[in-house]
Amino acid sequence: MLKSHEFETLVQKLNLKTRNTGDRHAWFEYEGKVIARTRRSHGRGDMPASDQIRQQLKLNEEELRQILQCRLYRQDYIEILRRKGKLPPAS
């Protein structure tokens, strides 16, 4: 289970845009396009499992762990998404 402070670490390290409604929504934009989105609940229950958040952000377990340990940042995330074909190659 991903803790709320870990979710906020993802938001900061990946420079995700956020919006608060009944939940905390976060999304990754690249060149004006939304590439990935996820959310967490403000309450105690109903928070998506870390696997679900990880999948929504298109990360594997090791990549997620490295971001949470402050070993990967936004530029690294962009490269991960490029390798996975979610972003166009760098020009």
The model's pLDDT over 39-51, given as tens digits with 9 standing for 90+, comes to 988 766 545 678 8
**The tokens 């803790």 sit on which residue?**
3
The model's pLDDT over 62-73, given as tens digits with 9 standing for 90+, comes to 999 999 999 999
Phi-psi region of 58 (alpha: psi -120 to 50; beta: other; left: phi over 0): left
Instruction: Determine contact, residues 3/53, Cβ cutoff 8 Å.
Output: no
pTM: 0.87
